[in-house]
Chains A and B, each alone.
Chain A
Amino acid sequence: QSVLTQPPSASGTPGQGVTISCSGSSSNIGGDYVYWYQQLPGAAPKLLIYRDNQRPSGVPDRFSGSKSGTSASLAISGLRSEDEADYYCQAWDGSLSGWVFGGGTKVTVL
């Protein structure tokens, strides 16, 4: 049972948009930044979004992050086949004094 809650799956057709939610509490998302990672099959995770909505260099602007209260979202626009992966949200949890991840969302491009 992950501290941060994500839907297990999401899907869309090429060119469509998909949004992944991440729900937490005041001790994590509500009190600190949210990060998002993409994990392709058999690969290490890759940082997609940091500090709620910032993209590292090299990450396409099709990926965007937002946060409101104790929930955050990752939006992918213009879905491509190479976006098929697992996506994880992450935050610092002040009550646990540690980093926590969501359970992950598998995105399928139909």
Chain B
Amino acid sequence: QVQLVQSGAEVKKPGASVKVSCKASGYTFTNYAIHWVRQAPGQSLECMGWINGGDGITRYSQKFQGRVTITQDRSATTAYMELNSLRSEDTAVYYCARDWMTSGFDYWGQGTQVTVSS
């Protein structure tokens, strides 16, 4: 069965970086893109960017351009999202989600809580 398993909760200080992983299993990793979506407390969902599993090409939301880096390790079927220069407003649950063409984000990770606090 398809699974996306994310790394555990993180607590970071302002100005630090955080790297969240998303281990995929149960499907051909290179056939799908992995998206990163975050949700601040009580807020809606916000797309940060994605990476194509096949060619590793990345695209980032304008809001996060320059501050986020999405990578992958095909041999480990794992995607990563690194966010730099953290501020309190980055406190949120970060999700990875699978996507293929126009089929929607059909599988999601369990979410990773990132808390930014001094």
Contacts and interface: CB of A to CB of B under 8 A. Distances in A.
Interface string A72-101: 000000000000000010100000111111
A63 interface: no
A94 to B, nearest CB: 13
Contact of B110 (A44, A47, A101): A44
Given A44-B110, A44-B111, A96-B62, A101 B105 contact: no
Contacts, number: 56
Contacts of A101: 44-47
Contacts of B106: 47, 50, 56
Interface size on B, as a range, is 20 to 34
Interface of B: 35, 37, 44-47, 59, 61-62, 95, 97, 102-106, 108-111
22 contacts: A33-B102, A35-B104, A35-B105, A44-B108, A44-B109, A45-B97, A45-B108, A47-B105, A50-B102, A50-B104, A51-B103, A51-B104, A56-B104, A88-B44, A90-B104, A97-B59, A98-B61, A98-B62, A99-B47, A101-B45, A102-B44, A104-B44
Interface of A: 2, 33, 35, 37, 44-47, 49-51, 56, 88, 90, 96-104
